[in-house]
Amino acid sequence: MQTLTVATTPFNDQKPGTSGLRKRVSTFQKPHYLENFVQAIFDSIAAPGGSTLVLGGDGRHYNREAIQVILKMAAANGFARVMVGLDGILSTPAASCVIRKYKTYGGIILSASHNPGGPDGDFGIKYNGSNGGPATETVTGAIYAVSKSIAQYRSVNAPDVALDKPGDHRIGSMTVTVFDPVADYADLMESLFDFGAIRELLGAGFRIKFDAMHAVTGPYAREIFVNRLGASAASVMNAVPLPDFGNGHPDPNLTYARELVETMYGDNAPDFGAASDGDGDRNMILGRHFFVNPSDSLAIIAANAHLVPGYRSGLAGIARSMPTSAAADRVAESLGIPCYETPTGWKFFGNLMDAGKVTLCGEESFGTGSDHVREKDGLWAVLFWLNIVAARKQSVETITLEHWTQFGRNVYSRHDYEGIPTDAANGVMQLLHDSFKTLPGKEFGRYAVAFCDDFSYTDPVDGSVSTGQGVRILFTDGSRIVFRLSGTGTEGATLRIYLEAFEPDVSKHKLDAQTALAELISIALQVTELRARTGREAPTVIT
Ligand code: G1P
Ligand code: ZN
């Protein structure tokens, strides 16, 4: 086997975003593009010779080709072993689970998460460390620095590995172990949740519908819901991972999971509905004719954790991203445990979990998880809810309404303006910054601005500081509006507007969030001059 040192020149756009490097497939297909980034990872992490790496992805277009490239580069960079999911499949939470279970040096996950796939869609790559979590900003910064000055990468001349054949293969002296990507993860879920109680619930006629959105969770959902929990095969829809996700947008929200939403709001709807995204780390929870906002989901999971075997001994703390509603804070307060507010992105939770400061973490963007792995985990959240329903013997809607009665409701919504011109988006953010001095004290109808800032975070574990994490306008009554530009998009810019108001009055809890937040929504449009600056009349996605 011949080791190759290939001369290359840097690309100037390989800065990892909120979650790894995401670009169009065609960008990754440019000669040396993928190789440069992979070599930048290997140079930055400096794995000792003889290390093991986990590798797999969400099955999107270019997944298999990229795996073959990375395997050969891993062999040339001194890895002793790479564990690859069968057919190149590995959900993000399952990758985290396997890295931890087999104590590997780290892992490379190929995914652009919820972004569309196919030849004209997106591809992505990210590195996770030995704790199973996304590389910290220090590591991603180092990867970016290397990518800007890279002059060569290493690979080997070797035939492709048969990814459809389980067992050990060899590339020179490196072993490639093709393994079942589902079993370890399903075992972990079975160790956390009361599968007996859920099986009984399903056996008693409780009907569920899980939408895998033609993405990676199909095989996981079949094994867990159908094989282990006895749900009917029809309970899992769009269960076969496709390279183009069936031309869909594998994002579990009210807009893109339309088929599931129509089923759950239709006649004779099932009792429980859920969906996950491209790589299996997001979740959407629905009851019959009912949507659970992800911020509420985190709070409800926390408040009911004592009903779930894996969490019965109590929670160390909760962490939520800054734009996520403060519903979880109220639960933390009543439990007498700390609640941390971090910037957007799962990588900020890793240190808190590793230090034992938090058990549960969540983001408003359909992300919930715990310290069982170091990624958010879609199926975990679905199983958590099923466990709660099985224990309380109440509907999703009743559980949520009772939660609001006890804690009050943090009415919440996120408005996304996708694919707006970058200049216009930057202009809006600049305008907001420019108004920091004049906004405080200003009145908008019944709302008065208390203060505004651009959120910055000091990691309580390693002291690292992250600035510019989102503009916040806080009002005197505790309501707030947050503005951020997305760090995961690949085309133009996406402006996210997060709106939150607290409603203690039970008689108003059933109000539609858009109605309840109407005044805040109009303030957001006013202070950003959004319509004039972007020409957009309405958001692309409302959650
Ligand atoms: C989005 C979400 C964020 C999440 C990330 C990765 O990032 O808002 O909460 O961690 O995807 O799934 P954004 O596009 O807003 O930077
Ligand atoms: Zn994802």
How does pLDDT run across 243-282, given as a tens digit for each residue? 999 998 999 999 899 999 999 999 999 999 999 999 999 9
Backbone φ, ψ for residue 121 (5° rounding): -95, -155
pTM for this structure? 0.93
**Ligand 1 binding pocket mutation candidate from 488, 494, 498, 540 (most atoms within 8 A of CB):** 488
Q: Which atom of ligand 1 is nearest to the CA of 488?
A: 14
Average pLDDT over residues 197-226: 97
**Ligand 1 binding pocket mutation candidate from 251, 363, 412, 416 (most atoms within 8 A of CB):** 363
Taking the CA of 282 as reference, the closest ligand is 2
Provide the percentage of residues in the chain whose pLDDT is more than 90. 94
Nearest protein Cα to ligand 1, atom 3:
345
Using one digit for the tens of pLDDT, what is the confidence trace for 282-329?
Answer: 999 999 999 999 999 999 999 999 999 999 999 999 999 999 999 999
Please give the Cα distance from 42 to 155 (Å, whole number). 12
Nearest protein Cα to ligand 1, atom 8:
365
Tell me the C-alpha to C-alpha distance, in Å, between residue 462 and each of 115, 272, 350, 351: 32, 41, 11, 8
pLDDT of residue 173: 94
Query: Domain spans of the chain?
Result: 2-181, 185-407, 409-542
Please give the Cα distance from 342 to 319 (Å, whole number). 7
Q: Is the pLDDT of residue 487 over 90?
A: no
Nearest protein Cα to ligand 1, atom 11:
488
Using one digit for the tens of pLDDT, what is the confidence trace for 332-372?
Answer: 999 999 999 999 998 899 999 999 999 999 999 999 999 99
Q: What is the three-state SS of 29-98?
A: CCCCHHHHHHHHHHHHHCCCCCCEEEEEECCCCCHHHHHHHHHHHHHHCCCCEEEEEEEEECCHHHHHHH
- Cβ within 8 Å of residue 414, ≥6 positions away: 323, 364, 365, 496, 497, 498, 499, 541, 542, 543
pLDDT of residue 137: 83
Q: What is the DSSP string of 511-525?
A: S-HHHHTHHHHHHHH
Q: Which atom of ligand 1 is nearest to the CA of 364?
A: 9
Nearest protein Cα to ligand 1, atom 2:
365
CA quadruple 70, 72, 76, 78: dihedral positive or negative? positive
Q: Is the pLDDT of residue 17 over 90?
A: no
Q: Is 474 exposed, middle or buried (0-12, 13-18, 19+ CB in 10 A)?
A: middle
Fold agreement between 2-181 and 409-542 = no
Taking the CA of 134 as reference, the closest ligand is 1
Please give the Cα distance from 480 to 543 (Å, whole number). 16
Active-site hit among 91, 96, 111, 113:
113
**Ligand 1 binding pocket mutation candidate from 282, 297, 344 (most atoms within 8 A of CB):** 344
Q: Which atom of ligand 1 is nearest to the CA of 321?
A: 9
Q: Which atom of ligand 1 is nearest to the CA of 282?
A: 12
Q: Is the pLDDT of residue 236 over 80?
A: yes
Going from the Cα of 365 to the center of ligand 2, the distance in angstroms, rounded, reads 10
Average pLDDT over residues 21-34: 97
Nearest protein Cα to ligand 1, atom 1:
488
Question: Is 235 among the residues known to form the active site?
Answer: no
Low-confidence winner among 162-166, 213-217, 268-272, 509-513 (lowest mean pLDDT): 509-513
pLDDT of residue 491: 75
Going from the Cα of 91 to the center of ligand 2, the distance in angstroms, rounded, reads 9
pLDDT of residue 136: 86
Using one digit for the tens of pLDDT, what is the confidence trace for 105-152?
Answer: 999 999 999 999 999 999 999 999 999 999 988 899 999 999 999 999
- The answer to whether residues 285 and 292 touch, using CB atoms and an 8 Å cutoff, is yes
Radius of gyration of the chain (CA): 23
Going from the Cα of 211 to the center of ligand 2, the distance in angstroms, rounded, reads 14
Taking the CA of 92 as reference, the closest ligand is 2
Closest CA to 26 of 152, 84, 85, 112: 112
Q: Which fold has domain 409-542?
A: TATA-Binding Protein (3.30.310)
DSSP state of 408: -
Backbone φ, ψ for residue 100 (5° rounding): -75, -45
Using one digit for the tens of pLDDT, what is the confidence trace for 435-477?
Answer: 999 999 999 999 999 999 999 999 999 999 999 999 999 999 8
**Ligand 1 binding pocket mutation candidate from 15, 19, 297 (most atoms within 8 A of CB):** 19
pLDDT of residue 18: 73
Going from the Cα of 251 to the center of ligand 2, the distance in angstroms, rounded, reads 8
Average pLDDT over residues 530-540: 92
Amino acid at position 498, single letter: Y
pLDDT of residue 21: 95
Q: Is the pLDDT of residue 489 over 80?
A: no
Provide the percentage of residues in the chain whose pLDDT is more than 70. 100
Using one digit for the tens of pLDDT, what is the confidence trace for 508-534?
Answer: 999 999 999 999 999 999 999 999 999
pLDDT of residue 488: 77
| pLDDT averaged over every residue in the chain | 95
Q: Which atom of ligand 1 is nearest to the CA of 489?
A: 14
Tell me the C-alpha to C-alpha distance, in Å, between residue 167 and each of 211, 333, 345: 30, 49, 35
Tell me the C-alpha to C-alpha distance, in Å, between residue 359 and each of 268, 299, 366, 379, 427: 37, 13, 18, 17, 39
Going from the Cα of 174 to the center of ligand 1, the distance in angstroms, rounded, reads 35
Going from the Cα of 198 to the center of ligand 1, the distance in angstroms, rounded, reads 31
SS3 358: coil
Going from the Cα of 482 to the center of ligand 1, the distance in angstroms, rounded, reads 14
Q: Where are the alpha helices (DSSP H) in 106-223?
A: 137-147, 183-192, 195-203, 217-221
Q: How confident is the model at residue 8 (pLDDT cuts 50, 70, 90)?
A: very high
- Cβ within 8 Å of residue 365, ≥6 positions away: 282, 294, 321, 344, 414
Q: Which atom of ligand 1 is nearest to the CA of 494?
A: 14
Taking the CA of 488 as reference, the closest ligand is 1
Instruction: Identify the architecture of domain 2-181 in CATH.
Output: 3-Layer(aba) Sandwich (3.40)
CA quadruple 291, 295, 297, 299: dihedral positive or negative? negative
Going from the Cα of 465 to the center of ligand 1, the distance in angstroms, rounded, reads 19
Taking the CA of 215 as reference, the closest ligand is 2
Q: Is the pLDDT of residue 238 over 90?
A: yes
Show the ligand 1 pocket: residues with CB < 6 angstroms: 18-19, 113, 321, 344-346, 363, 365, 367, 486-488, 496
Terminal CA-CA length for the chain: 53
pLDDT of residue 333: 97
CATH of domain 185-407: 3.40.120.10
